[in-house]
Structure 1
């Protein structure tokens, strides 16, 4: 039997994250959204507790936490506000790529910059899955020992202020490749197309990145071929789990807020939580939240243990997290009635953030399709093995 009971160290980290989320992040979330940036006070506190270095190895001065510990921390932080957490500066999703190959000389400059006190922002462009329509807009051409990069990315978090860009893609020869680009001071290796692309996650620095004949040198190539394919697969798996964990934190916030509201608000002489339709919906919201929480923690433990089905577990967790977070946040808006659409109440913001989160990290149809393909491929491979 798998136990999800946290260790003492994990509990201590989560307690710190929960206090930070309630006391600092939640009260300042709306201001951060209005300013389209995370407040400096939040950033300073996040740096103090090491949020930016959870994935990094100890010899990078990182915490090198297991994925299950990180999932619990990000879940707790996102209870404060998902958009703020997505906008915290640092390596972002690229941290999972660094975790998997920290000795690569490609990262030397970034490592030195971070160990001076502040980890620079990294935008991670995942254009590896060609079935994504926008992925075809990224063209990577082999150029001697390097590459030439053209096209525009989908909106990525931290893109607006990124000093580095990590790209996971397939080149025009159908070879997987992982690239690591630095924009030197005053450099113009890419241009930023900022905007409110999905009306949510407005504190996360969302931006599309435009590349026009950007030259990639050989020492900026992290991996190619089968090595790149494996690196991307493992990196995507870790990223999915962490993003699903953040969605759980968002769901917990919406569930708690809606529950407290309906327990206090009265209609026709009694609190509205006593009406059957309301109580049933609250119960369904709670069930969905617990289901996703279990799937996320199960996936995290499988990744930490190196289980064969870890990739599938991550796809399942993120798919359900997106579906359930959309339901829970929308239901929270409905529970508040007309107040649900007023920005004095946080639920309308959370509903927008849930939509943006699902858009950034894979639509439900895409995730379930990838999971189905993996099941079929594994079954076909197993069958061939028996026949041989």
Structure 2
């Protein structure tokens, strides 16, 4: 029987994360949204607690924690506020890439800079994007990147961006790009929906020349590396979504239990109690799928890709249902900014947009099964 129970040490880490989420993160969530950036004090505190280095390799002064541990820690932190967690500087999604490719000469060259200066790296993964507006042309000395990316997290704060895509010859490549050059711009746009502190933006490449020395991977190596990176990212993002679900569920439960109508608590009305039960079940199902995927990915199982897609797919679906339900259960108060549920609903929609809608994930999973890339266990 599979056990998801954390060790005593991990349990203490998770408890610290949950306490920090409630005492430090949630009280400043609106302020962070208004300023559209996580303040330096918050970043410093999280860094000192080790929460910014969970995924990074030990050689990079990271904790290099197992995914199951990270998933439970991220759930606890996101219970405070998902947007704050998504706006934290550093390697972001690229941390998973660095963990898998930590000894590459290019990464080693920037290692000390990234550790000491806490530089931010955005990850632009276009290998599975059908209609990308980015083109990568093979040249005599390397590649030329041109076009505008889709909105990605941390773009507005990034010092570097890792770009994974196929060049004009159909060869997959992963390239290291310095974002502070004249040919690279960032369009922060006006993303009013949610996750306003996440630095979401489009990266504009104006015929950016990339030398051969800045290639992090090519051909089959690039495909394998990005597939493994993608599996880890799906698990970590789904875990954050579970944390937001738990926050919305607990808040709606407490609200309905404390309000009365017709002489009894709202929570005792059948329609309300049924909805709360549905929210609880969706949250728990999503959590277990995330933990199962974490073990599969870290264990190198052939079901890792399918498990990670399934976890993120269900987390997306459950997240929208739970946050929408929380708003509805608060009635008119659900749309008032004095209550956090309207923000959580907006953040949920933005999160799903950034990390692949359910239909896209289903298509990818179906293609995997049909191609025989992995087992057909669903």
Q: CA deviation at 1:114?
A: 2.8
Q: Which one is further off, 163-172 or 277-286? A: 163-172
Aligned to 1:130: 129
Distance in 1 (alpha carbons) for counterparts of 2:227 and 2:191: 27
Alignment of 1:319-334 (within 5 A): 319-334=313-328
Cα distance in structure 2, aligned partners of 1:144 and 1:203: 40
Q: In the aligned structure 1, how far is the partner of 2:291 from the partner of 2:192?
A: 28
1:78 aligned partner: 78
Q: In the alignment, is the contact (CA less than 8 A) between 1:179 and 1:221 conserved in 2?
A: yes
Query: Which secondary structure state, in structure 1, belongs to the residue aligned with residue 162 of structure 2?
Result: strand
Q: How does 1:279-318 map to 2 (within 5 A)?
A: 279-318=273-312
Q: 1:163 aligns with which of 159, 171, 174?
A: 159
SS of 1:325 mapped into structure 2: helix
TM-superposed CA distance for 1:182, in Å, is 1.9
Distance in 2 (CA, whole Å) between partners of 1:7 and 1:283 is 29
Counterpart among 260, 274, 279 of residue 266 in structure 1: 260
2:58 aligned residue: 58
Are the aligned partners of 2:256 and 2:266 in contact in 1 as well (CA < 8 Å)? yes
Partner of 1:188: 182
Specify the alignment match of 1:236 in structure 2: 230
Q: Give the whole-Å Cα distance in 1 for the aligned partners of 2:260 and 2:36.
A: 36
**2:363, 2:16 → 1: CA distance?**
38
Q: Give the drift of 1:380.
A: 9.8
The residue that corresponds to 1:119 in the other structure is: 118
Q: In the alignment, is residue 278 of structure 1 matched against residue 272 of structure 2?
A: yes
2:140 corresponds in structure 1 to: 144
TM-score w.r.t. length of structure 2: 0.97
The question of 1:253 aligning with 2:247 is answered yes
Partner in structure 2 of residue 343 of structure 1:
337
- The Cα shift of 1:379 comes to 7.5
Q: After the TM superposition, which of the residue ranges 316-325 and 7-16 deviates more from structure 2? A: 7-16
- More moved, 288-297 vs 40-49: 40-49
1: CA distance between counterparts of 2:260 and 2:129? 52
Q: Does 1:212 align with 2:211?
A: no
Aligned length: 376
Using the TM superposition, give the Cα deviation of residue 268 of structure 1 relative to its aligned residue in structure 2, in angstroms: 1.3
Unaligned runs of 5+ in 2: none
Deviates more, 1:62-71 or 1:225-234: 62-71
Q: Which moved more, 1:119-128 or 1:370-379?
A: 370-379
RMSD (CA atoms) = 1.4
Distance across 2 between alignment mates of 1:164 and 1:379: 32
Deviation at 1:198, TM superposition (A): 5.7
Structure 1's unaligned 5+ residue stretches are 383-388
Flag as ranges the 4+ runs of structure 1 deviating above 6 A: 379-382
Residue matched to 1:173: 169
